[in-house]
A and B are shown apart, each in its own frame.
Chain A
Amino acid sequence: MWEHSFRDKAAETRLFRSRAITLAVFILLMISILVWRMAYLQITLHDKYKDLSENNRIQLQPIAPNRGLIYDRNGVLLAENVPSYSLVLVPERVTDMDKTIEFLDTLIGVSERDREQFDKRKKLRRRPFEPIVLRHKLSEEEIAQVMVNRMYLPGVDVEAQLVRHYPLGESFAHVLGYVGRINQKEQATLDADAETKRRYSATQYIGKLGVEKRYEADLHGEVGYQKVETNARGRIIQVLEQQDPTPGQDITLHLDSRLQTLAQKEMKGMRGALVAIEVATGGILSLYSNPSFDPNLFVTGISHKDYSDLRDNPDLPLFDRTIRGQYPPASTLKPFIGLAAVNSGITNWGETIDDQGWFQLENDERLYRDWKRTGHGVVNLERAIVESCDTYFYEMAVRAGIDTISPFLAQFGFGRDMTLDVINALPGLLPDRDWKRARRKSFWYAGDTVNLGIGQGFMLVTPLQLATATSVLASHGEWKVPRLIYAHDDVIDEVPHGDIPDIELNNVKDWDRMSNAMSKVITGTHGTARRLLSRLDFPIAGKTGTAQVVGIKQDEEYDSESLKERLRDHALFIAFAPVDKPEIAVAVVIENGESAGRTAGPIAQSIINEYLGGAEG
């Protein structure tokens, strides 16, 4: 062909062959590189990659244990675990995220908050194909809506999990507390310890308050594991090994749901607290603060609106008045002051004083008035209790002195948190000279003792402390530390008595005399709680109290009508029954309840009647 014919064909061929051989050698070299590389990966690094591939394939998945249940003393379920369904999305499989969420919104409704939470969760570090929750607590109907449209919703699924539920809701909100999602701070605490980190590796919820928090360790249970083979999408192909989780212990409390729901009913519309204690054991039968809230709202995360409604409610439903409400004990302290007085020998049951309606310290102008302007006339200790004579206790307090009264009251648990398992309980305040010097930078004046005589002034008690002291009074000084726990997994808890000394009086008959006096508070003609007589199913020993919310100045007319509702006196009532063989001790505080005989007294009586009546029937 053309010019080719003039060429040196042999030279051309030689040139090509030499180039071809060069390239053949080069190719052999390059293949050697590939072989070397493959051998390096498959022989030298084989162990490393074998592990990596096993780690890919096999996952050790922790399985959360079922939380222990909580029962009341009659076996009524107070906290259970119920299945809850969540809507989850796998972003990798969702073709159009915006459209999918729009569609889900038209189907079952997706709030702005759900969307925000979803976007937040989506940004967190996660394995590919790990589902993200869009909505919690789907109803049966919503599940059906999603399932029917599933073919139009790639990457959308419904997942089931157990969540805590409190069937009696508001009645037990404060005492049981609630569980909620483990927050970052709690997670950091759990992670700090290798053992808790392991135990909580699958757990999403933790006790936040109350019994749920106090008995978290018992209720939680032991984590289980399963070794599974999954594909890259996280779908489980097969379970290779499984170690079942151990459910948490079921616990039974001393609480009695009949009393608790009755307390809620009786205190409707009021602000206050009721505590009932089983005298023989110290078991807390009822611990109720009103108004309350629905603890179920908090379990999967309370909405912002619901929370601000609770927080901004002027009646403070989140405030647990039973253990954190600190009130002046007022006249409910008189039985204890009276015992202090006779026990110290400064008076006896027979001595009388003549009450003209006021008390005056030596060398002091000030008049300490009795609530009864005209005075009670000639009164002994019993009458002073029955009619709640202030002047008598002014005098006796001053005679006994703070250094006698304060240590005596301390024996009943005032000024200290004496409970076994009620968390966050406040200690109240039992004043003495040292306290006043340290906190008020001032000396203890005789006037301070006068006020303490009628439970006013510095002293503060919580309703739980008041009930505890009443229970100790009812059992003639024998201490049973107040407790909620009754049994773990049907095994009754033997709680050691502890080192709280029982109260020994110089004359043991003083106990009965005081009980007798307190029973006349109801049965006596002039008893301050005589209106309870009409419903007296069981003999009750009680004492009323009226705590001033604002200090009434000397000689100032006290006109309850002119004070706003919130400035009215708090009504207090302590009681135990039956008088001769006490089984139950109760303390009731009704904020701004004004008259103990009309508000707090009847509530305590209802509780006693229900408890003793129920026990009989």
Chain B
Amino acid sequence: MASTDFSRTIGSGHHHGFSRSQALFERIHLDLPLTLLILALTICGLAILYSGSGQEWGMVKRQAIHFAIGLVVMITAAQLPPRFYQAIAPWAYLVGLVALLLVLIMGVGAKGAQRWLAIPGLPRFQPSELVKLALPLTVAWYMARHPVPPKFSVLVKAMIIIGLPTVMILKQPDLGTSILIGASGVLVLFFAGMSWKLIISGGALLAASAPAMWFFVMRDYQKQRVLTFLNPESDPLGSGWNIIQSKTAIGSGGIDGKGFLQGTQSQLEFLPESHTDFIIAVLAEELGLIGVLALLTLYFFIIMRCLYLSAQCETLFGRLLSGSLSVTFFIYVFVNIGMVSGILPVVGVPLPLVSYGGTSVVSLLTAFGVLMSMATHRQNP
């Protein structure tokens, strides 16, 4: 049963009614299964948010508005042809670089990190959000200009394209985002056919440079996070509080959970950030392992559908970009759940489409729009 559902969802449907709607959707450059999956996740997300926010309707409504805006942006983005994205790619990248530079010079922020840019006349924004999309776009654009698998010299230049914004974001400092953005660029190279030899040696090099990162790159608060991750009980009321409380919420949920809105960790405010980064713990506490598995299944379907759509893209540029966006989406899911459940350090990554936050929702839905554009536009219809 599960396997037929699975193939129907991620593969092209054989069902008559479904394929008719699918065709209709494709004409407006949307993918029906992916759109439905996103909507399903959105609805689940809003329900969890209702509980995680301490049953605050206001917050749920605001998040619903974020989704509405995001969906409009997604549909719009899907209408723009891949050619358009190809054309703006280098410019988006350059604008992103300039914005990141400005952040380092005159950015605003809190807790010793400069992440926001306040330019008079424009709403405050985080340039790193722009780069999240601009970087894979540009790397895909660059790689598509050369034959695949790429030559070493091309890879070196691509690594420079990736490295510049990554290092600048690292300097803000924002370790989590810089790793995610760097990964989105590297994923393009992977899809472009970068040789396994290089991948393995690159990975080894990265592992070897970890101690150097600790001593020369990481800030004290980042080191503290890693130390807390390794031993949260060392400071149970301070920095270890969050992770101890989230693990307690998850573990106490058991297999079937304490019931919706019945989670004591979440409802009695023991769980911090229960509406943003730690929202998965609310689900785990109230709906148990079953709820978590359901959500992970939903994510899995979305990612598999995205990968399937990536393979359907007509152009190499489209495939590389879509593939990178799909896997980046998964990395968000993995890092978030990993940190909340205590197998990764706390790096401040929201759970995609579930955590509260307008910027994250809109930028994720934009990425889905771009992906659908790549997958549905045909040069010779």
Contacts and interface: CB of A to CB of B under 8 A. Distances in A.
Nearest to B316: A12
Contact of B316 (A4, A17, A39, A229): A4
B193 A53 contact: no
Interface residues of A, dominant DSSP? helix
A19 B324 CA distance: 11
Interface string A122-135: 00000110000000
A231 B268 CA distance: 4
A4 B315 CA distance: 9
A43 B316 contact: no
A37 B341 CA distance: 7
B296 A31 contact: yes
20 contacts: A7-B316, A12-B148, A15-B149, A20-B311, A24-B304, A30-B330, A30-B334, A34-B338, A38-B289, A38-B341, A39-B289, A42-B250, A42-B255, A42-B292, A43-B255, A43-B289, A52-B252, A57-B264, A230-B268, A232-B268
Contact of B323 (A19, A39, A41, A43): A19
B375 interface: no
B303 A27 contact: yes
A24 B253 CA distance: 30
Interface in B127-162: 144-145, 147-149
Given A20-B311, A35-B296, A46 B343 contact: no
Interface in B285-305: 285, 288-289, 292-293, 296, 299-300, 303-304
A16 to B, nearest CB: 5
Question: Which 3 residue pairs are nearest across A and B when measured between Cβ atoms?
Answer: A49-B251, A53-B252, A231-B268
Contacts of A50: 251-252, 254
Interface string B253-265: 1110000000011
A33 B248 CA distance: 19
Interface residues of B, dominant DSSP? helix
B49 interface: no
A16 B323 contact: yes
A35 B250 contact: no
A49 to B, nearest CB: 3
B310 interface: yes
B332 interface: no
B265 A19 contact: no
A27 B327 contact: yes
Nearest to B146: A3
Contact of A231 (B193, B255, B269): B269
B249 A16 contact: no
Contact of A20 (B264, B299, B307): B307
B188 to A, nearest CB: 11
Contacts of A111: none
Most buried by A among B251, B311, B316, B342: B251
Q: Interface range on chain A: under 10, 10 to 19, 20 to 34, or 35 or more?
A: 35 or more
A218 to B, nearest CB: 39
Interface string A225-248: 000011111000100000000000
Given A27-B303, A34-B296, A46 B251 contact: yes
A526 interface: no
Interface string B55-69: 000000000000000
A43 B252 CA distance: 9
Contacts of B288: 42
B225 interface: no
A37 B343 contact: yes
Contacts of B149: 15
Contact of B270 (A24, A41, A56): A56
Given A17-B311, A37-B343, 7 more contacts: A16-B320, A27-B303, A30-B330, A34-B337, A35-B292, A49-B252, A57-B264
Given A27-B303, A34-B341, A56-B264, A19 B191 contact: yes
A24 B307 contact: yes
A215 B147 CA distance: 96
Contacts of A46: 251-252, 254-255
B252 A38 contact: no
A30 B303 CA distance: 13
A513 interface: no
A390 B374 CA distance: 127
Contacts of B171: none
A53 B248 contact: yes
